[in-house]
């Protein structure tokens, strides 16, 4: 009995030992065997080479761990990839299989963990570097597995830890990555069509992040997304823009808290709710030259559903936007960037082999908004805060600049169900003037609105670049104001429009080949009325597509002036003489680059010197206002033309005579040979204006030097009459200030300390009498407002 028990025990121990040994041998050798098989046959069966440092396989628990996994690009398929490049690498891959379900033909992975993966998605036109994997794992027929009773696959939980994923589009080209990617998914089940993912990742640069949940039904393609985005860097968009731009830079970041649901098969089947904020937006020629920018655009959505015709916004707010538009001799700043008439954009659109995210977004926004006005829409609050609209025209004889800054637009609730919507538009015009527009419109009909507008204190000399270019006669006085009232019903216009120009005055002609000639003095004779004003009422009727301008008042005024003006010539001469007496006693105007005084200016300076000599207690203070932009432009044009002129002379002729200087002054800055010289000397395709090319040629150092010499020379010329009479110590000249003068020219403002000259006192009295009698008294308040503006 004992022997039998001993033998049984021995057999059991042997069997147990054998089993344990077998298990140990299996565990010991299955890992290297697996390593060998994967290394040898991975490329044969998957088309991709797979490498690793080591693998651990436990066939009894279903546990597998791969260390330092590397999956290489495919060398097979319709699109060849570089097989020496890595498609996906990971610090570790861990999987837990449910072994008992293998008997039921069910491959179930309880958990799959990818630790620190680094993967890349490469696109070339319509091909991706993972196309071969899709083909490999896609059955020829959808129901093949079920019909043949094949294996079923379940992945119960997927985790990705601290991943980095790259995207590269080779045909554009585009490169971008997201980092610290973390994913948790409920996995894929053979009998379930829904996949859910919880995700988070950071943008390529900075700390911009995105977190959220995404669910999709792979059968119907219905989806649900809830995401929070914080300061996510959007600079990667610049790469898409470069396919449509000759040059330019872009930057912005995104904040969002969005709930979205819809279906990938239908663009309009989407519902959005939440808030989107685009921050620190900059788009332009360079990082220091923006064409468009803003601090923040905030859109708060209550509900957006194109399919249900709902566009319900809580608010739309745009903070500190800037928009700059410039006109050059050839094209403008936008066409320079995107090609003539947007050629680069249309060409990119026509090239359907290249995917462009920007165009796709633009097309999608168009789809979402195409039925906006036919739908139920509401914007509770619309505001544009401190906008800055800039306009520069470099195609004229001199630069023209104007800006609406700051500009405010505010609207009350814009609601299709409201009878009227009120919009307020208000802005200051830089350097002078202001505009206010009030709109009351029918949200259901764009041809039904009321409008009142006011434009005040806009100086006419501001438009000298246009006036000189097309007439050759600049103005040094004149203020324009306009106001009007419109009522539009069913697109039919009823409106009154009033334009008033106070004291327009033409100065001496500019003789240059860059300007045209029109008899401006003769035109002014017909349009200017006896009180030195231009005052017209111009009603507009008709409809919005074909308005009719009623100029009866203009014609009658012109005809009246033909008969009235000759009879009022003595009155107008008296007014002009009094104005000149006051103006020339209180200021001295300088033309661009002018140094010596004109005879009438010298006469008035000499009179001031005599006045101070005869009145020992009197003093004068002089406040120079230097129109830096115009003076520097004139210096640049002259110095650049001077260099070109001398380049045509022999080596011994390197100084300008008086005759040479006259020739240089008359030379057009758009002379074809001069432009060719500038282009050759600067050799920079990013210099679009004559001004910028001249500045590159001359340099800032010489420009500053010439500018200082100009101001010193003017100071010396002005003081010379006082020095001759040994009274210069009673003339205090302040430091020059730079700015934009109301009259469009640099000038010296003269302030008397103590007694005033008799001629000036008499002129003041005469002007006061003139302003208090018809016709000037009718516009006395308007003149007082203009004088107050000029004193600022």
158-194 confidence digits (pLDDT tens): 999 999 999 888 877 788 899 999 999 887 877 788 8
pLDDT the model gives residue 515: 85
Q: pLDDT tens-digit profile of 455-470?
A: 998 999 999 999 999 9
223 contact partners, CB below 8 Å, separation of at least 6? 214, 215, 216, 217, 260, 261, 262, 263, 264
Query: Nearest-CA neighbor of 67 among 59, 77, 57?
Result: 57
Asked whether residue 146 carries a pLDDT value surpassing 50, the answer given is no
Distance, in Å, from the CA atom of 659 to the CA atom of 645, rounded to the nearest integer, reads 12
Q: Which residue has better confidence, 513 or 769?
A: 513
Distance, in Å, from the CA atom of 767 to the CA atom of 755, rounded to the nearest integer, reads 19
When pLDDT is averaged across residues 125-147 and rounded to a whole number, the result is 64
Distance, in Å, from the CA atom of 625 to the CA atom of 737, rounded to the nearest integer, reads 5
pLDDT the model gives residue 81: 53
Q: Which residue has better confidence, 492 or 18?
A: 492
Q: Is 327 helix (H, G, I), strand (E, B) or coil?
A: strand
pLDDT the model gives residue 148: 43
Q: How far apart are the first and last CA of the chain?
A: 126
pTM of the shown model: 0.84
Q: Residue 359 — φ and ψ, nearest 5°?
A: -65, -35
List, in sequence order, every beta strand (DSSP E) within 241-288.
249-263, 266-286
Query: Nearest-CA neighbor of 461 among 585, 627, 328?
Result: 627
Identify whether 54 is part of a domain: yes
Identify whether 119 is part of a domain: yes
Q: Are 53 and 88 in contact (CB under 8 A)?
A: no
Asked whether residue 398 carries a pLDDT value surpassing 50, the answer given is yes
Asked whether residue 551 carries a pLDDT value surpassing 90, the answer given is no
Asked whether residue 510 carries a pLDDT value surpassing 90, the answer given is no
Of 166, 192, 218, at which residue does a domain stop?
192
Q: From the CB of residue 334, how many other CB atoms can be counted at a distance below 10 Å?
A: 14
When pLDDT is averaged across residues 146-165 and rounded to a whole number, the result is 77
Q: Which percentage of the chain shows pLDDT scores above 90? A: 41
Q: pLDDT tens-digit profile of 83-92?
A: 578 899 999 9
Domains in the chain: how many in total?
2
Identify whether 548 is part of a domain: no
pLDDT the model gives residue 251: 93
Q: pLDDT-based confidence at 384, cuts 50/70/90?
A: very high
Q: pLDDT-based confidence at 1, cuts 50/70/90?
A: low
Q: Per mean pLDDT, which of 24-33, 481-490, 546-555 is the most reliable? A: 481-490
Q: Are 620 and 608 in contact (CB under 8 A)?
A: yes
| Element spanning 564, H or E | helix 552-567
* Residue numbers of the domain that contains 585: 575-791
Identify whether 396 is part of a domain: no
Side-chain half-sphere CA neighbours of 39 within 13 A:
12
Distance, in Å, from the CA atom of 317 to the CA atom of 382, rounded to the nearest integer, reads 6
Q: Is 452 helix (H, G, I), strand (E, B) or coil?
A: strand
Q: pLDDT-based confidence at 137, cuts 50/70/90?
A: low
Identify whether 303 is part of a domain: no
Residue identified by tokens 């298990």 is: 23
605 contact partners, CB below 8 Å, separation of at least 6? 588, 597, 718, 721
Virtual torsion, Cα 374, 380, 385, 391, nearest 10 deg: 10
Distance, in Å, from the CA atom of 301 to the CA atom of 316, rounded to the nearest integer, reads 9
Q: Are 508 and 601 in contact (CB under 8 A)?
A: no
Query: Nearest-CA neighbor of 159 among 212, 250, 94?
Result: 94
Of 192, 218, 253, at which residue does a domain stop?
192
Q: Are 397 and 469 in contact (CB under 8 A)?
A: yes
pLDDT the model gives residue 78: 45
Distance, in Å, from the CA atom of 476 to the CA atom of 741, rounded to the nearest integer, reads 10
Identify whether 421 is part of a domain: no
**What does 509-557 look like in DSSP terms, one character per residue?**
PP--TTS----HHHHHHHHS-TTSEEEEE--EEEBSSSEEE--HHHHHH
When pLDDT is averaged across residues 615-624 and rounded to a whole number, the result is 89
Q: pLDDT tens-digit profile of 332-341?
A: 999 999 999 9
Of 141, 166, 192, at which residue does a domain stop?
192
Q: Which of 365-374, 473-482, 568-577 has the lowest mean pLDDT?
A: 568-577
Count of all residues that appear for the chain in the document: 792
Q: pLDDT-based confidence at 144, cuts 50/70/90?
A: very low
Asked whether residue 775 carries a pLDDT value surpassing 60, the answer given is yes
Distance, in Å, from the CA atom of 636 to the CA atom of 674, rounded to the nearest integer, reads 13
When pLDDT is averaged across residues 251-274 and rounded to a whole number, the result is 92
């Amino acid at each position: 009995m004992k022997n039998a028990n001993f033998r049984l025990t021995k057999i059991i121990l042997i069997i147990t030992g054998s089993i344990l040994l077998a298990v140990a041998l299996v565990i010991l050798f299955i890992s290297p065997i697996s390593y060998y098989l994967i290394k040898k046959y991975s490329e044969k069966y998957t088309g991709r080479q797979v490498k690793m440092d080591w693998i651990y396989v436990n066939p009894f628990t279903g546990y597998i761990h791969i260390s330092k996994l590397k999956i290489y690009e495919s060398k097979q398929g319709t699109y060849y990839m570089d097989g020496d490049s890595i498609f996906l690498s990971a610090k570790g891959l861990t999987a837990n299989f449910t072994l008992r379900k293998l008997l039921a033909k069910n491959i179930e992975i309880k958990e799959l963990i990818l630790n620190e993966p680094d993967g890349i998605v490469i696109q070339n036109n319509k091909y991706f570097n993972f196309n071969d994997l899709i083909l490999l794992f896609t059955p020829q027929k959808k129901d093949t597995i079920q019909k043949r009773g094949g294996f079923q696959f379940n992945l119960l939980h997927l985790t990705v830890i601290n991943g980095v994923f790259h995207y590269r589009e080779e045909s554009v080209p585009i490169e971008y990555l997201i980092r610290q990617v973390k994913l948790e998914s409920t996995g894929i089940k053979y009998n379930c069509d829904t996949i859910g993912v919880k995700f988070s990742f950071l943008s390529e640069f900075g700390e911009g992040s995105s977190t959220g949940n995404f669910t999709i039904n792979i059968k119907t393609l219905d989806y649900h997304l809830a995401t929070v985005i914080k300061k996510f860097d959007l600079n990667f968009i610049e790469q898409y823009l470069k396919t449509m731009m000759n040059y330019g830079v872009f930057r912005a970041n995104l904040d969002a808290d969005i709930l979205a649901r819809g279906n990938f098969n239908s663009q309009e089947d989407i519902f959005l709710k939440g808030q989107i904020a685009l921050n620190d937006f900059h788009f332009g020629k360079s990082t220091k030259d923006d064409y468009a920018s803003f601090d923040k655009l905030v859109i708060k959505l209550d509900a957006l559903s194109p399919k249900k015709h709902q566009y319900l916004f809580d608010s739309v707010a745009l903070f500190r936007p800037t928009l700059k538009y410039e006109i050059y001799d050839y094209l403008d700043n936008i066409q320079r960037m995107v090609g003539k008439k947007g050629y680069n954009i249309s060409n990119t659109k026509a090239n359907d082999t290249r995917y462009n995210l920007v165009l796709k977004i633009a097309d999608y926004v168009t789809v979402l908004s195409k039925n906006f006005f036919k739908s139920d829409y509401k914007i509770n609050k619309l505001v544009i805060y401190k906008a800055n609209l800039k306009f520069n025209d470099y195609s004229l004889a001199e630069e023209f600049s104007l800006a609406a800054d700051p500009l405010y637009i505010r609207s009350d609730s814009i609601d299709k169900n409201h009878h009227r919507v009120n919009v307020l538009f208000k802005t200051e015009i830089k350097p002078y003037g202001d505009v206010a527009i009030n709109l009351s419109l029918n949200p259901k009909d764009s041809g039904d609105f009321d409008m009142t507008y006011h434009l005040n204190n806009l100086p006419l000399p501001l438009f000298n670049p246009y006036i000189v270019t097309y007439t050759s006669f600049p103005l040094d006085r004149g203020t324009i104001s306009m106001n009007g009232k419109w009522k539009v019903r069913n697109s039919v216009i009823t409106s009154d429009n009033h334009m008033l120009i106070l004291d327009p005055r033409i100065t001496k002609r500019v003789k240059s080949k860059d300007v045209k000639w029109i008899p401006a003095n003769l035109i002014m004779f017909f349009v200017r009325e006896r009180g030195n004003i231009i005052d017209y009422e111009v009603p507009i009727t008709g409809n919005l597509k074909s308005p009719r301008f009623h100029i009866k008042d203009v014609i009658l005024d012109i005809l009246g002036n033909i008969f009235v003006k000759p009879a009022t010539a003595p009155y107008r001469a008296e007014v002009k003489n009094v104005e000149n007496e006051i103006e020339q006693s209180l200021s001295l105007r300088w033309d661009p680059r002018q140094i010596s005084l004109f005879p009438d200016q010298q006469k008035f300076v000499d009179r001031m010197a005599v006045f101070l000599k005869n009145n020992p207690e009197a003093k004068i203070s002089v406040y120079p206002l230097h129109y830096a932009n115009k003076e520097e432009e004139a210096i640049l044009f002259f110095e650049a033309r001077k260099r070109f002129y001398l380049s045509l002379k022999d080596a011994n002729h390197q100084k300008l005579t008086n005759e040479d200087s006259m020739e240089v002054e008359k030379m057009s800055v758009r002379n074809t040979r001069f432009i060719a010289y500038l282009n050759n000397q600067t050799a920079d395709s990013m210099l679009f204006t004559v001004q910028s090319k001249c500045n590159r040629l001359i340099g800032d150092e010489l420009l500053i030097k010439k500018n200082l010499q100009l101001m010193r020379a003017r100071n010396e010329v002005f003081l010379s009459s006082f020095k001759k009479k040994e009274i210069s110590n009673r003339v205090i000249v302040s430091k020059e200030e730079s700015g934009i003068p109301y009259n469009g020219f640099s000038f010296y403002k003269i302030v008397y300390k103590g007694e005033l000259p008799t001629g000036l006192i008499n002129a003041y009295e005469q002007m006061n009498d003139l302003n208090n009698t018809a016709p000037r008294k009718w516009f006395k308040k308007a003149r007082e407002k203009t004088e107050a503006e000029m004193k600022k």
